[in-house]
Structures are given as structure tokens and as C-alpha cells.
Amino acid sequence: MIPAETTGRDTEVKRPGSKILPSLGILLVTGGLIFLGWFAYLWFEPAESPYQYQQISTGNPQDYPELALDAWPELTVSHYDVIASEAEKPIARAIVAQRDDAPPVLIKWQNNSKEILHALDWKSSELSELAAAINQHAEKDALILAWWDISRQINLLTGHDTLFTSHLNEPLIIPQHWQAQMEAIDAYEQTFWQSRPERQELEQFERFSLALTEEPATGVAQLRELIGKERTAYIIVHVTDLYKLGLMYPERIGVAYQNFPLTGNIHGMINHMKVQLKEHDFDTYTLQSITDTEIRVYFLSDEQSSKTLLAGMLPFTDKDAPMELEALQLLYQKGGYWLYKIP
């Protein structure tokens, strides 16, 4: 169980901040100008990232049938293992796709350790089906709103304009013991993904994510203000957005999760979820199918969390169904993805 209180920004989602320079007088007294020179070297040469992306293979979509990307034969697909010196085996697996010389886009992520790094797992086949649904429902000149990672995937697979185009790394999800190396991680990520977001895009993403924490009518009004009154626009959410939003704004939406193996004892699993609800005084829960043998259960901590726009766009036990949401028009749902039109 990952309790809601552990998803606070103070522990897991800090951004690289400013360093505090020691007093120059102390440096001179302690070690003289030579020591100061060594300090300057360390200052401008940040520590290395505690992990590296190691390319394992590259090819076309047909070489990676599990991605279900046969409809995009022009893409180049590459498989990377995430290697950390502290672990004997890869701690994660990343598969990226790119068109020509454009920056790579993350298509599939698989965590191999107990601690989440950067992203939560999702089913790749659902992404390709979502792209087809967008082409069916959304006009070519329509704007697509979604979390920045989904936005990049949709832009790659459909060509639709998305409000977010950079690899924003918001929130930056890393193990607790790597917090001191956050700046090195952030720099390494920007280099690998060939993406350095501008302040305007970061501010727009903050407005977008905050709107998801509001009550539905207020949140949708804020989204419409963000994109302008005239632009035809759609919004996509995924159940994993719950965890990321909870990390960014724990005071607005409390989220916890637990993984369960899929067995024949469905009633026993449901009873266990109800026990978790009662023991932790959670308000409700929803499910995500991770693989054919495992599901993830997301819990919301209280009624306030359940009244947020994002919660209203997803199916939660004993709550109104997403198709009853009056603030948005539901057009498509498959697996963890939900596509709505913004009025």
C-alpha cells in the first residue's frame, strides 16, 4: 500500500532549486584560494545522474509487436534499459519512438523495482487504440489537452496539436534516497529527451493540472480560459494521472494505490479492497489493468478528493459515472483512457 500522505511534494516531487553559496571568507580561511578553486570546479560540474539509459535495440514497429504500432511503420523504435550502479539488474525499461530526427517520445515504461521511477506502467495497446479514436472524433485542427507525457504520444501518433509538447518531468518521480541528486537527474533527463521546456509551457501546465483539482464546473471553465474561447478542444485523462496529481497537490487530492494479482477469487479481492477502505478511512476507489495478471487499485482519501474534476472524469465506486458528468462530453473510453470534448 502506498498511503496518501507519502505523495507529498516535500518528499518526492521537489524541483531542482537554488544552491546556497558558503561565505567566501570561510572558504579563504579554511583552505585558501586553491580550495576555492576546487569548490568552483565542483559547483560548475554537477554530480552525475545515479542511473543511465542504455540502448539495447532499435528497429521499426514490426520488431516490437507488443506496442501495437504497426499503423506507424515510419517510426523508429528503440529499447533502453535503465541501469543504476546500486542495482544488479535494470531498474526500469523504456521504449521510445521518434519520427526522423525529432526528439524521442516515451511509448512504454516498465518499472522493475519496488520504487516508482518517473512513470507508472500502462498497456501499450490501449495507446494505439486511443490514437485511432482521436482521429475518428477530433477535427484535424482541434487542440488536445492531456498530461504532458500523453500529449507527446498523441502528437506523435496523430499529428494533432497538443498544448504541451515538451518532456516536462512534472512531477519528477524519483526514489527518496536520490533527492540529493535531483539537479543531476533533471539535467540528464533534459539531455536524453532533447527537451528544455520554456517557462510559459510550465506555467500553462500548472494551470492545467490545478484545473483538474477543482470542482468540475470550475475546472472546465479554467481549462476553457487556458485554451481560448473559440478553439475546438478535447481533453484526455488516464487513471495514472491520479497518482501524479496527488503528488503535485496532496493538499487538494489525496491518492493511494495498491497492486493486486489477478486470480480467480474476484470476490476475495473486492473484499480486501473494502477492508482497505475501512481501515484507512478512504472515500472510494477505482481500478487499472496493468497486465493480464495484475491490477492496480487507486484510492481517494476523502470526499473533497472525490469532488475534483479528475475524479469526476474517472469511474469510482459508489460515485456518479463519467457519462453523467455534465461539464464535459464523453466520447471514448478504453482501458485507462477517457476522451472528452470541452464545451
Which set of grid coordinates corresponds to residue 100? Answer: 526522423
Residues of the chain with pLDDT under 70: 1-46, 264-266, 268
**326, burial (CB in 10 Å: exposed 0-12, middle 13-18, buried 19+):** exposed
Phi, psi of 240 (to 5 degrees): -70, -15
The pLDDT value given to residue 3: 47
Give the span between the Cα atoms of 287 and 260, in whole angstroms.
Answer: 10
- Determine, yes or no, domain membership for 8: no
CB distance 174 to 182 below 8 Å: yes
Evaluate whether residue 49 is within a structural domain: no
- Nearest CA among 228, 219, 238 for reference residue 289: 238
Give the integer Cα–Cα distance in Å for 225 and 191: 33
Give the tens place of pLDDT for each residue, 160-210: 999 999 999 999 999 999 999 999 999 999 999 999 999 999 999 999 999
Question: For residue 239, what are the domain limits?
Answer: 114-342
Tell whether 103 is covered by a domain.
no
Return the percent helix, strand and coil in the chain, to nearest 5.
40, 25, 35
The string of pLDDT tens digits covering residues 258-291 is 888 877 666 767 777 777 878 889 999 999 988 8
Q: What is the pLDDT of residue 45?
A: 54
Distances (CA, A) of 300 to 150, 173, 241, 245, 315: 23, 20, 13, 12, 12
Alpha-carbon gap, residue 247 to 8, rounded angstroms: 5
| Grid cell of 209 as nine digits | 493540472
Cell of 78: 528503440
Structure-derived torsion over alpha carbons of residues 183, 186, 188, 191, reported in degrees to the nearest 10: -130
Q: Which pLDDT score is estimated for 38?
A: 44
**CA dihedral over 216, 222, 227, 230, signed as positive or negative:** positive
Q: Does 264 map to a domain?
A: yes
Distance CA 256, CA 99 (A): 37
Domain membership of residue 79 (yes or no) is no
Residue 307 CA to residue 304 CA, distance in Å, equals 5
Cis, bond preceding 73 (omega within 30 deg of 0) = no
pLDDT value of position 19: 33
pTM: 0.85
Q: What span, in angstroms and rounded, lies between the C-alpha atoms of 150 and 124? A: 12
| CA 298 – CA 245 distance, rounded (Å) | 12
How many independent structural domains does the chain possess? 1
Cβ(340)–Cβ(328) below 8 Å: yes
3-state SS string for 180-234: HHHHHHHHHHHHHCCCCCCHHHHHHHHHHHHHHCCCHHHHHHHHHHHHCCCCCEE
For residue 16, tell me if it sits in a domain: no
- C-alpha dihedral (71, 195, 82, 288), degrees to nearest 10: -60
DSSP string, 101-143: TSPPEEEEEEE-SSS--S-----HHHHHHHHHHHHHHS-TT-E
| Residue 28: per-residue pLDDT | 35
Residues in CB range of 166: below 8 A, 6 or more apart: 148, 152, 195, 196, 197, 198, 201
* 97 domain residue, yes or no: no
pLDDT at 17 (0 to 100):
36
The CA distance from 145 to 221, in Å, is 14
Inter-residue contact 152 to 105 (CB < 8 Å): yes
Q: Does residue 76 lie in a domain region? A: no
